[in-house]
Structure 1
Amino acid sequence: MTAVAPSAPREGRAARRRAAQEAAKRSHARARRRGGGGRGRRRARPRSGGALVLLSRAAGELFITAGVVMLLFVTYQLWYTNVLAERAADGAAGSLQQTWERPPVTGAPPPAAAFEPGQGFAILHIPKLDLKVPVAEGISKAKVLDKGMVGHYGEGALKTAMPSDRQGNFAVAGHRNTHGEPFRYINQLVPGDAIVVETRDAYYTYQMASALPQTSPANVAVIKPVPEGSGFTGPGRYITLTTCTPEFTSTYRMIVWGRMTEERPRSQGAPPALTSP
C-alpha cells in the first residue's frame, strides 16, 4: 500500500503537462495562421498602391510628351519658319538682282508688263529697319507671304497701281510675325523715313507720311488710289504697307502710307537713301 499510493498523482501531472503542451501547440498554430493571413492582407494593399503609382507615372509621361510637342510647335512657328522664309526671300532677292544686272539679249522680247501670281518683280528697302525684301505679285499666303516675301495687291477688286504708274497707290502686304516677319517693326517708322522700291528699270523713293495703328481687315479703303485716312487729299504716287496687329494675331490691320519723292533710273545708281551711312 505504501509503495503504490504516490503513483496516481504522478500520472495525473503527466497528463496535465501533455494536455498543456497540446493546447500550446494548437494556440501557436492558430497564431501562425492568423499571422499568415494578416501578411496576405498587408501585401494586397501595396498591389493596389502600385497600380496607382503606375497610373500616375503614365499620366506624368503623357503631360511631358504633350509639353514637348507644344514646345516644338512654338519653336517651329516663332523661329524655324523665319529661318526658312528668310532663306527663301534672300534667294529670291539675289536672283532678281542678278537678272537685272545681266545685259539685255539682242532680239529678246521685252519684259512682261504684268506678272504671274507669286512672281517676284521688285525689292523693297526700308533703311531705318535694315529691311531688304522681295516683292511678288499677289497676297497669297502659300505662294508669297509665307515665303518671307511682301505681296502686291494686284488682283481683282484689290488691284492697285505699280510704282512706275504715273498716278496711283502701290499697296503691299507682309507678315508681322513668323515666316520672315518683314513688317514686324513698321510701327517704328515716322514721317520722313525713306521707303525705296527697286525694280529692273528704276528706284522709287517714298517718304513715310502717316500711319493708322489699327483698323478692320475689311477696311479696303486704305488701299484706294487716294487712300482714306492717309491725309492725302488728291491723286498722287503713293505707297501703302499693310500688316497684322496686335503682334501674333490677325485681328486688325496696321497701315503705313508714304508719298513718292523721287524716281531714279537704275543707270544713275542707287538713291541717297540707300547709299548714305
Structure 2
Amino acid sequence: MSRLAGELFITLGVVMLLFVAYQLWYTNVLAERTANGAAGSLRQNWERDQGAAAAPEVSAFEPGQGFAILHIPKLDVKVPVAEGVSKPKVLDKGMVGHYADGALKSAMPADQQGNFALAGHRNTHGEPFRFINRLAPGDPVVVETRDAYYTYEITSSLAQTPPANVSVIKPVPEGSGFTAPGRYITLTTCTPEFTSTYRMIVWGRMTDERPRSQGAPPALASP
C-alpha cells in the first residue's frame, strides 16, 4: 500500500512539473509564435493598403482585431496591439489589448486628445509587460499603425493599485501627474509577479507624430 501511495505521489509530482513547465515556458512559445504571426500579417496588410489608391483611414476595429504594433526599445519589446482586453482573444495570444469597452473605453493614438490605455500579461503567454517596472521617465515608447508612428515619453508610474481603480485609465489619468487633457498612453499589468492581486501602471505623454511616409522615428533607429 505504501509503495502504491509513493508511486501516486511521484506521478502527481511529474504532472505538476509538466503543468508548471507548460505555464511558464510553453505558453510563451505559443503566444510569441501567434503574436509574431499577427505582427507580420499587420505589416503585409499595411503595405497592401499603401499600394491602394487613397485607402481610407480606419478608426474602429472588431474585438480581437490587431491594428497597431507597440515598440518599447528599452525592453526589446515589439508586440501587436489588438482591440479589447479579452484574455482568450487577445492577452493569452501574446498581444497587448486596448481598453475599448463601455466605461473602460479609451482613446486611439490618432485622437487629438485622450489616453491610449493598454493591458498586457506580465507572466506567461508571451509576457510582453514582464519588465515594464524598469521603464523610467524619459524612456520612449512607440506605437506603429498603418498610417503613422506615435512616439510617447514615459513620465511616471504607480507600483501597485487595486484592479477596481479604473481612474488610472481616464482621459486625464488620476495619479499620473497630468492635470489637463492631452495625448497620453497608459500601460497596465498584474503585480506582484505570478499573481493578479494588484495592477502596475506606467504613464507617458505623446511627443511626436509622423506619417509612415517619413520613416521610423529616432526612437526606433538602430544603434
Q: TM-score range by the shorter chain?
A: over 0.9
Corresponding residue for residue 151 of structure 1: 97
Find the aligned partners of 2:53 and 2:195 in 1 and give their Cα distance.
Answer: 50
Match of 1:246 among 179, 186, 192: 192
**1:259 counterpart residue number:** 205
CA positional deviation for 1:104: 3.3
* Alignment equivalent of 1:104, drawn from 40, 48, 51: 51
Taking structure 2 as the reference length, the TM-score comes to: 0.97
Q: Which has the higher contact order (CA 8 A, sep 6+)?
A: 2
2:161 is matched with 215
Q: How far apart in 1 are the matches of 2:57 and 2:19?
A: 42
Instruction: Provide the C-alpha distance between the structure 2 equivalents of 1:62 and 1:197, rounded to a whole number of angstroms.
Output: 51
> What pairs with 1:28-107 in structure 2 (closer than 5 Å)?
55-102=1-48, 103-106=50-53
Query: 2:220 maps to what in 1?
Result: 274
Equivalent residue number for residue 66 of structure 2: 120
- Please give the TM-score of this superposition, normalised by the length of structure 1: 0.79
Q: Report the CA distance between 1:111 and its aligned residue.
A: 4.7
Q: Which has the higher helix share?
A: 1
Distance (whole Å) between structure 2 residues aligned to residue 111 and residue 233 of structure 1: 31
Q: Any idea what the Cα deviations from partners look like across 1:136-187, whole Å, max 9, x if unmatched?
A: 0000000000000000001111000000000000000000000000000000
Q: How far does the alpha carbon of each residue in 1:221-262 deviate from its partner, in whole angstroms, 9 at most, with x for none?
A: 000000000001101000000000000000000000000000
Q: CA deviation at 1:112?
A: 3.5
Q: CA deviation at 1:98?
A: 1.3
Q: Report whether the alignment pairs 1:195 with 2:195.
A: no
CA distance in 2, matches of 1:82, 1:127: 20
AA partner of residue 105 (structure 1) = A
3-state SS of the aligned residue for 2:79? strand
Count of residues in correspondence between the two structures: 222
Give the gaps of 5 or more residues in structure 2: none
Moved over 6 A (4+): none
Partner of 2:123: 177
Highest CA radius of gyration, 1 or 2?
1
1:106 Cα offset (Å): 4.3
Deviation, 1:57, is: 1.1
More strand by share: 2
From 81, 86, 91, the counterpart of 1:135:
81
Q: What is the aligned-residue RMSD (CA, Å)?
A: 1.1
**Per-residue deviation, residues 79-113 of structure 1 (Å, max 9, x unmatched):** 00000000000000011011112243348x63542
Asked if 1:237 is matched to 2:160, the reply is no
2: distance between equivalents of 1:142 and 1:183? 17
- Over the matched positions of the two proteins, sequence identity in percent amounts to 82
SS of the residue aligned with 2:28? helix
User: How far did 1:276 drift?
Assistant: 4.3
5+ residue gaps, structure 1, are 1-54
1:133 partner amino acid? V
Q: 1:112/1:203 Cα in 2 relative to 1: closer, same or farther (>3 Å)?
A: closer
